[in-house]
Structure 1
Amino acid sequence: MTAGLPEPAGFPDCPVCAYLTTGTARLCSDCAGRTLQPLADPHCPVCSQALAPGRPCGNRLCALPEAERGFSRVDAVAVYSGALRDKIHRLKYDGAHGWAMIFGRLLVGWMESHPDQMRGVDYVVGNPTHTGRQPIQHIEAIMDAAYTEDVARTFPLSPPGAHRLIKQKQTPRSANKDLDDKRAAAAAHAAALTWTADTGDIEGSTILLVDDVFTSGSQLQHVALRLRASGAADVRGLVLARVPWSG
């Protein structure tokens, strides 16, 4: 990886790594891949959930026609566990901004190593947080970092601050709620989003919708349906972490 140079520190020791400032998306992605928990094999081609051999995916969304599901597929960098879970939490709830840069690199590294999944994508868009979110708008911070880390401008990311989807009002949170309340919160979240027309025409486009964590997919479903109702032809998902679950 780095012949004749110090070895990367490994995730989650990124803050003390010799390549914290100079590292590339591919270097950091490959390094993190040595310690992050990979997706199970086999896993669902639609939602990336682990599959029991010979059994269909237990996620109810995956059995829906795509027109009702909204998204065509959701890929994940890794499983939501251990250090990755902890560092996402630190960024999201403690405002540890430095992790946004690392996560931006991991996303771009994934994009670089998965050209088939990126083929035909017109826009890479973050699933937005409320503009007044505290301590940090973590998705926006990650997306800004991803643009910076895409030094070759290979992917259709927006420049920092120029986010294509925005959420100007707060909606109910879904954490620790029952399934019906989670679905209601997801619908309210999607209804509060606005596509900023001056950043590109959504009509007929293929959108890669980026988020931090994917569990059941209810919120991503509602956002994808909103985007398709606005004219998008295809919505795909990419998340940092896939929450493992059964049922």
Structure 2
Amino acid sequence: MCAYVVTGTARLCSDCAGRTLQPVSDSHCSVCSQAVAPGRPCGNRLCALPVSQRGFSRVDAVAVYSGALRDKIHRLKYDGAHGWAMIFGRLLVGWMESHPEQMEGVDHVVGNPTAAGRQPIQHIEAIMNAAYTEDVTHALPLSPPDAHRLIKETETPRSANKSLDDKRTAAAAHAAALTWTGDTGDIKGATILLVDDVFTSGSQLQHVALRLRASGAAEVRGLVLARVPWSG
């Protein structure tokens, strides 16, 4: 157990994670953070699309989806190990504090929501609640606990372990089920940082970002805890 899990700052957690988790490669795609060989294009088809079709301008990742991070995300997401939500909230806040250039101009930081009543836990909401608590000075545009601007009231088909076509279909259904709960004027012309746990193909973030852009957002950026490494 970390001696600073209660008394340490979010920046401390972020710095420690940078030393203990697998970092995003120095040579990575500027759009999706996938590792690429120097001078080679990214293999993600989304990255070649114009932003008008992709929705998000870029997606940054705290670390690579491997080892301890992969295991702990799984424990929170599928076993309901709630304590990891606090750690992940700290990691996100620490990243935001350490990357002011990526946070410049962001009007709202919102989670890519899970459906109401999801079992064993609404893990994204738990992480975002923890992030708000860890932002002790409230310098970041995070919503207070249980006042999330983007919600999902109904469950839709899950995309885990599905084909790419099925993932795209599930992503479109997920985005269609979302509701912006704030004042509609809040989203007009806004820059939104959309937070999720894991980025694989990017289909779900793409569809949610397009939904937000269609509702009036000027720009959607992404931030994920972990980027799944591609083998090819």
TM-score of the aligned structures, taking structure 2 as reference length = 0.98
Q: Does 1:192 align with 2:177?
A: yes
Aligned residue type for 2:33: S
1:131 corresponds in structure 2 to 116
Structure 1 residues 81-90 or 22-31, which shifts more?
22-31
Structure 1 residues 74-83 or 33-42, which shifts more?
33-42
- Pair 17,50 (structure 1): closer, same or farther in 2 beyond 3 Å: same
Structure 2: distance between partners of 1:246 and 1:52: 13
1:1-150 matches, within 5 Å, as 16-150=1-135
Find the residue that maps to 1:241 and give its secondary structure: strand
Paired residues, number:
232
1:217-232 matches, within 5 Å, as 217-232=202-217
How far off its partner does 1:199 sit?
A: 8.5
Structure 1: distance between partners of 2:184 and 2:140: 15
Find the residue that maps to 1:124 and give its secondary structure: strand
How far off its partner does 1:179 sit?
A: 1.0
Find the residue that maps to 2:37 and give its secondary structure: coil
Find the residue that maps to 1:27 and give its secondary structure: helix
Structure 2: distance between partners of 1:70 and 1:84: 27
Q: CA offsets, 1:58-101, max 9 Å, x none?
A: 00000000000000000000000000000000000000000000
Cα RMSD between the aligned structures?
1.0
Q: Does 1:183 align with 2:168?
A: yes
Note if contact 1:168-1:192 (Cα within 8 Å) is conserved in structure 2. Answer: yes
How far off its partner does 1:18 sit?
A: 1.8
Larger radius of gyration between Structure 1 and Structure 2: 1
Segments ≥4 residues shifted beyond 3 Å: none
Find the residue that maps to 2:63 and give its secondary structure: strand
Structure 1: distance between partners of 2:77 and 2:161: 16
Aligned residue among 165, 171, 179 for 2:150 = 165
Structure 2: distance between partners of 1:18 and 1:154: 26
How far off its partner does 1:175 sit?
A: 1.1
Structure 2: distance between partners of 1:135 and 1:122: 31
